[in-house]
Amino acid sequence: MTNVAIEWGRARSAGAGKTEWGRARSAGAGKTLRSDAWLTGDDEAAMAHRVALRTSGLTVGRGGRPVIGIANSVSDLNPCNLPLRALAGAVRQGIEDAGGIPAEFGTISLGEDLMKPAAMLYRNLLAIEIEEMIRSYPLDGIVILANCDKTVPGAVMGAASADIPTVVVTGGARPAAVFRGERIGAGTALWRLWDERRAGLVSDAEWRDLEACLDCGAGACNTMGTASTMALMAETLGLMIPGSSTIPSGDPAALDAAHQAGRCAVTAVTGQLSPTVVLSPAAFGNAVRVLHAAAGSTNAVIHLPAIAGRVGVPLPLDNFGRLGAGVPVLADIQPSGTGLMQDFHAAGGLPALLAELAPLLDLSPVTVTGKTLGEIITAAPPPKEGGAIRRRDEPMRTGGAFAVVRGSLAPQGAVIKVSAASPELLKHRGPAVVFHGYDDMRNRVDDPGLPVTKDSVLVLTGCGPVGVPGMPEWGMIPIPAKLAKAGVTDMVQVTDARMSGTSFGTVFLHVAPEAAIGGPLGLVRDGDLVAVDTAKGTLDLEVPADELGRRKAEWQPPPSPHVRGWPALYRDHVLQAPEGCDLDFLRAPTPAHRRFIEPVVGRS
């Protein structure tokens, strides 16, 4: 198998100072497995290792069979990931059928519903956990069981740093709820109906009915939220069984895909298909284009650079604008469209979308299955007529789903999902109404005396990676109540926070540098004029330079209550949004950083 992606992987491995086992495992079938360092030999340590695995119910000998970890993030605290419980057994069987040894372990479960202040605060902690579980245990490959928003990127980041063959299995979208006789999308409908309730258009009884109908089953949000988006990204990057990223929760096809994933993990070990081979620059370029075509979550604009940073692939923010400029938006899925993820899957899923995008993609990257993207596309059907995936000549919109803007208010950039914004607001100039943090916003946004009009620019500061910490999804500010009652449904908003992939509106997100580290966003005052021109890629604060200088001189970093623990470590080392919000000591910009250090394997 000689192609661009394989050559990329070989070039990286050759220059990365791999350990001796790393060179051996890259040599192909019949060579030393990583787990052999634990399981071969006749000394007391090797015997203890074999006994430990047998005590766990695993059938092991003196090496020679790949041990495949099953990293399962299922949790009763995370309904998004509950479908994974039924899939773990199929993965295990697939590993055994292919001659491997399955070893399941639990991971931290990052749930958007209950984890506060944001699951994003713990994405990098999950990445550390996965990397260190791989480092410290006799694993040759890994199957990641993930579904909710941050579990997929976090686990992939850790596996990429450890650089063992990795296969991702997701749990799919939850069933559609029905409210007022219509199917509604998870997240998207809630945000819309909350504004309607605040405008007096949803009664107390209807609000209770909505709560009851939203309890419609386990799984990810069934709109094009972050969970569905990152599943598509994982499949596009080559880490999933083709067509499996959109299988709905509870669909029997998910069990077959999980079984295939288990088998695939074993063959990937034999076939040396580690992340250094699969996660090539071309694969990331394809992922950005698919992100635009699917009108995916803005959170992917953070997660993709974070993954790329683990394998030394540059993915600057401007690439999201440049690579998407000629991409048509083809997915007719909420919040940018009308359908749900079940409709996307019925229309052919990601393979059908890839087939329609093929002229815009690099077909050379190899996937963990051993097939190239081009080979997968060749076998893919076209989108079904009249379905949720449009043809290239009948797009939802042209010019991509996202825009990147820069200027005096966002020197390092900000991003907007134009496919879910109001076109008439993409060029706008208005006075700022500033909220300093989430509590300030929630306390004042419905105040009848708030000095705000439909032409105001709502500014939310102090909600970035350092500021909270954790960069919660607070960016979609509710329309002020008095304006919502007057029929206003969207306004220009600017923030250093994120927003849910299920959200919508003319929201300029991820402003960098953030307010908490001295970015210009923290210098905005009520009444300052903010001007945005999305087509020109500008976002400016129209305040004289000398006045900004005076404000900057008076600025003091906000105090943090976190003096110990994970939040303090995160705050001190997290990077800004354009760099993926990874921790500075986890990225791998050089071959020396990408060298994975093996443990001394002996007595513990």
Q: What is the 3-state secondary structure (H, E, C) of 131-194?
A: HHHHHHCCCCEEEEECCCCCHHHHHHHHHHHHCCCEEEECCCECCCEEECCEEECCCHHHHHHH
**Boundary of a domain, candidates 378, 410, 441:** 378
Decide: 390 and 456 in contact? Cβ < 8 Å: no
Q: Do 412 and 291 have their domain in common?
A: no
**What span, in angstroms and rounded, lies between the C-alpha atoms of 353 and 366?**
18
Q: What does the CA dihedral 575, 577, 578, 581 come to, rounded to 10 degrees? A: 40
Decide: 306 and 160 in contact? Cβ < 8 Å: no
Query: pLDDT (tens digit, 9 = 90+) per residue, 550-589?
Result: 999 999 999 999 999 999 999 999 999 999 999 999 999 9
In a domain, 127, yes or no: yes
Predicted confidence (pLDDT) at residue 64 exceeds the cutoff of 80: yes
Mean per-residue pLDDT of the chain: 94
Confidence (pLDDT) at 278: 98
In a domain, 9, yes or no: yes
**Boundary of a domain, candidates 554, 569, 587:** 554
Query: pLDDT (tens digit, 9 = 90+) per residue, 261-311?
Result: 999 999 999 999 999 999 999 999 999 999 999 999 999 999 999 999 999
Which residues does 17 contact at the CB level (< 8 Å), separation at least 6? 591, 592, 595
In a domain, 53, yes or no: no
In a domain, 58, yes or no: no
β-pair type (141-145, 101-106): unpaired
Q: How much is the average pLDDT of 376-399?
A: 95
* Cα torsion 197, 200, 201, 203: sign: positive
Helix or strand or coil: residue 264? helix
Predicted confidence (pLDDT) at residue 495 exceeds the cutoff of 50: yes
**Boundary of a domain, candidates 378, 413, 442:** 378
**What span, in angstroms and rounded, lies between the C-alpha atoms of 250 and 263?**
21
Question: The domain that contains 514 carries what CATH number?
Answer: 3.50.30.80
Query: pLDDT (tens digit, 9 = 90+) per residue, 524-537?
Result: 999 999 999 999 99
Q: Do 367 and 316 have their domain in common?
A: yes
Predicted confidence (pLDDT) at residue 40 exceeds the cutoff of 80: yes
Amino acid at 173: A
Helix or strand or coil: residue 50? helix
Residue 122 token pair: 């713990």
Confidence (pLDDT) at 216: 85
Which of 26-30, 56-60, 579-583 has the highest average model confidence (pLDDT)? 579-583
Q: Within 13 A of 491's CA, how many CA atoms are on the CB side?
A: 29
Q: Do 114 and 201 have their domain in common?
A: no
Residue for token digits 């052999």?
A: 36
Confidence (pLDDT) at 27: 34
Question: The domain that contains 339 carries what CATH number?
Answer: 3.40.50.2300
Decide: 110 and 126 in contact? Cβ < 8 Å: yes
Confidence (pLDDT) at 31: 67
Confidence (pLDDT) at 20: 30
Query: pLDDT (tens digit, 9 = 90+) per residue, 213-264?
Result: 998 899 999 999 999 999 999 999 999 999 999 999 999 999 999 999 999 9
In a domain, 580, yes or no: no
Which residues does 576 contact at the CB level (< 8 Å), separation at least 6? 412, 464, 465, 512, 513, 514, 517
Q: Do 350 and 476 have their domain in common?
A: no
Residue for token digits 């993915």?
A: 315
Q: Give bridge partners of residue 70 from the DSSP assignment.
A: 104, 143
Predicted confidence (pLDDT) at residue 19 exceeds the cutoff of 70: no
Q: Do 133 and 265 have their domain in common?
A: yes
Helix or strand or coil: residue 267? helix
Confidence (pLDDT) at 233: 98
Predicted confidence (pLDDT) at residue 17 exceeds the cutoff of 70: no
User: pLDDT grade, residue 78 (50/70/90)?
Assistant: very high
In a domain, 435, yes or no: yes
Closest CA to 257 of 127, 329, 169: 169
Query: pLDDT (tens digit, 9 = 90+) per residue, 310-342?
Result: 999 999 999 999 999 999 999 999 999 999 999
Percent of the chain with pLDDT over 70: 95
**What span, in angstroms and rounded, lies between the C-alpha atoms of 328 and 294?**
9
Confidence (pLDDT) at 295: 98
Confidence (pLDDT) at 364: 97
Q: Within 13 A of 192's CA, how many CA atoms are on the CB side?
A: 14
Predicted confidence (pLDDT) at residue 348 exceeds the cutoff of 80: yes
Q: Do 273 and 130 have their domain in common?
A: yes
Q: Do 28 and 93 have their domain in common?
A: yes
Q: Do 446 and 521 have their domain in common?
A: yes
Predicted confidence (pLDDT) at residue 12 exceeds the cutoff of 70: no
User: Which range marks the domain in which residue 333 is found?
Assistant: 4-32+66-175+219-378
**What span, in angstroms and rounded, lies between the C-alpha atoms of 74 and 249?**
14
Amino acid at 89: G
Residue 497 token pair: 């926070």
Q: Do 283 and 335 have their domain in common?
A: yes
Query: pLDDT (tens digit, 9 = 90+) per residue, 168-215?
Result: 999 999 999 999 999 999 999 999 999 999 999 999 999 999 999 998
How many domains, in total, are found in the chain? 3
Residue for token digits 């055994």?
A: 96
Q: Do 200 and 228 have their domain in common?
A: no
Confidence (pLDDT) at 215: 87
Distances (CA, A) of 127 to 303, 306, 385, 448: 12, 11, 40, 45
Residue 429 carries which DSSP code? E
Helix or strand or coil: residue 162? helix
DSSP 114-142: T-SS-GGGGHHHHHHHHHHHHHHTT-SEE
pTM > 0.85 = yes
In a domain, 333, yes or no: yes
Q: Do 373 and 474 have their domain in common?
A: no
Q: Do 412 and 310 have their domain in common?
A: no
DSSP 359-403: GGS----B-TTS-BHHHHHHTPPPPPTTSSB--TTS-SBSS-SEE
Predicted confidence (pLDDT) at residue 443 exceeds the cutoff of 60: yes
In a domain, 569, yes or no: no
